[in-house]
């Protein structure tokens, strides 16, 4: 990309002001020099977004810039890590000033909200692909992991489920809030930090509740029962469902179980910690909802409020049924 590669770095990425004093050398040298705090473990994650695969081609540059960082911050949140630094590998088909301005503005707006500093990256020409790596800190022994759940513990989720999935499937969700949930997911960083003190295991929901809870449970060869009527659904979700014709409503009502892109946290808490944890999360946007219980029997079993078993039709469920 010769000249324009350096122009892009200079105009859109290197100009943003430094936000952290633990960045000794940021963008502009052959590598960044970063001072990790003493007595902290470094949490590192990376996610790639490919146009047409991870987002529809018509997605706005701002949404892509936000989401590329947000999905990584969501992974840090699920580890209970405090975010600090990010690197960005950007492959773009052309030097499109309006696109790059909107992309970088949204990226830095989210980065600044969590005092995350962009410390380096790579810029190349090609089909649109964005890779972000994020780094965060966690006290030794305090990181939340997917492993660690125990039978009898309660299963919780933050926020609401299925909003992004619904927005993705409706041409016009008729409600901008739903669209925002798809395009501008808010990483649950504060919840992750609080949960260090309470959760025995945690994961962020990117592929759908059943799939991601399934990953968490599989590690310890556990199962769960889920109260599907307790799954948190937003007002906007319920409102949009009401105006759909019954056919599509039937098709969409399992979105809170199976749709991806929620970027909420799913976590397990031993009963004696639940009261205090609920109180603290209630003070954080999104809050949390108790949706089920960890069980020794593998597989995820769903129940209605009247106790009747419910067998989800959503694809992916089979991976997590009781047959190993
Ligand atoms: P090198 O050839 O040594 O890899 P580059 O020309 O690729 O150097 O990058 C120059 C500097 O700009 C490096 O510090 C790199 O980390 C940074 N950089 C390149 N692309 C980006 C980007 N998209 N966002 C942030 N920093 C970037
Ligand atoms: Mg390079």
In sequence order, what DSSP letters do the residues of 47-114 get, joined into one string? EEEEBTTTB-TT--HHHHHHHHHHHHHHHHHHHTPEEEEEEEEEEESS--HHHHHHHHHHHHHHHHHT
34-48, 167-181, 282-296: range with lowest mean pLDDT: 167-181
Q: Show the ligand 1 pocket: residues with CB < 6 angstroms.
A: 9, 13, 27-30, 88, 90, 118, 120-123
Computed over every residue of the chain, the mean pLDDT equals: 93
Q: What share of the chain has pLDDT > 70, as a percent?
A: 95
Task: Using DSSP bridges, classify how beta strands 264-269 and 129-138 pair: parallel, antiparallel or unpaired.
Answer: unpaired
**Span from the CA of 30 to the centroid of ligand 1 (angstroms):** 8
Q: Is the pLDDT of residue 210 over 90?
A: yes
Average of per-residue pLDDT across 209-216: 97
- For residue 210, give the H/E element and its range: helix 209-219
Q: Are 177 and 249 in contact (CB under 8 A)?
A: no
The residue whose two tokens read 């949490």 is 43
In this structure, the residue with its CA closest to atom 9 of ligand 1 is: 122
Q: In sequence order, which residues have a C-beta less than 8 Å from that of residue 99 and are 6 or more positions away? A: 61, 92
Average of per-residue pLDDT across 84-109: 97
Is 176 exposed, middle or buried, given 0-12, 13-18 or 19+ CB atoms closer than 10 A? exposed
**Span from the CA of 161 to the centroid of ligand 1 (angstroms):** 37
Q: Is the pLDDT of residue 27 over 60?
A: yes
Q: Say which ligand is closest to the CA of 91.
A: 1
In this structure, the residue with its CA closest to atom 5 of ligand 1 is: 122
**Tokens in use for 28?**
């502009």
Q: What is the pTM of this model?
A: 0.94
Q: Is the pLDDT of residue 318 over 80?
A: no
Average of per-residue pLDDT across 204-215: 96
Q: Is the pLDDT of residue 323 over 50?
A: no
In this structure, the residue with its CA closest to atom 19 of ligand 1 is: 122
Q: Say which ligand is closest to the CA of 28.
A: 1
């Amino acid at each position: 990309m010769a000249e324009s590669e350096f122009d892009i770095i200079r105009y859109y990425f290197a100009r943003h002001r430094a936000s952290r004093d633990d960045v000794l050398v940021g963008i502009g040298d052959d590598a960044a020099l970063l001072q990790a705090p003493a007595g902290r473990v470094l949490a590192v994650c990376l996610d790639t977004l490919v146009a047409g695969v991870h987002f529809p081609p018509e997605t706005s540059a701002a949404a892509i810039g936000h989401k590329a960082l947000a999905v990584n911050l969501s992974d840090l949140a699920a580890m209970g890590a405090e975010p600090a630094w990010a690197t960005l590998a950007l492959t773009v088909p052309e030097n499109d000033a309006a696109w790059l301005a909107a992309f970088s503005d949204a990226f830095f707006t989210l980065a600044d909200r969590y005092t995350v500093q962009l410390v380096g990256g790579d810029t190349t020409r090609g089909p649109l692909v964005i890779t972000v790596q994020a780094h965060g800190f966690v006290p030794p022994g305090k990181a939340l992991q997917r492993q660690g759940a125990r039978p009898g513990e309660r299963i919780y989720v933050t926020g609401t489920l299925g909003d992004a999935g619904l927005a993705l499937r409706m041409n016009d969700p008729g409600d901008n809030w739903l669209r925002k949930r798809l395009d501008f997911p808010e990483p649950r960083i504060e919840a992750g930090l609080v949960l260090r003190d309470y959760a025995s295991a945690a994961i962020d929901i990117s592929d759908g509740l059943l799939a991601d809870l399934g990953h968490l449970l599989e590690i310890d060869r556990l199962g769960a029962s889920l109260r599907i009527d307790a799954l948190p659904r937003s007002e906007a979700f319920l409102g949009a469902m009401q105006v759909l014709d019954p056919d599509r409503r039937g098709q969409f009502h399992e979105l809170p179980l199976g749709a991806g892109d929620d970027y909420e946290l799913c976590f397990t808490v031993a009963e004696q910690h639940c009261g205090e944890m609920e109180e603290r999360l209630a003070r954080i946007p999104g809050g949390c909802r108790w949706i089920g219980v960890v069980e020794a029997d593998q597989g995820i079993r769903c129940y209605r409020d009247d106790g009747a078993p419910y067998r989800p039709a959503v694809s992916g469920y089979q991976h997590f049924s009781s047959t190993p």
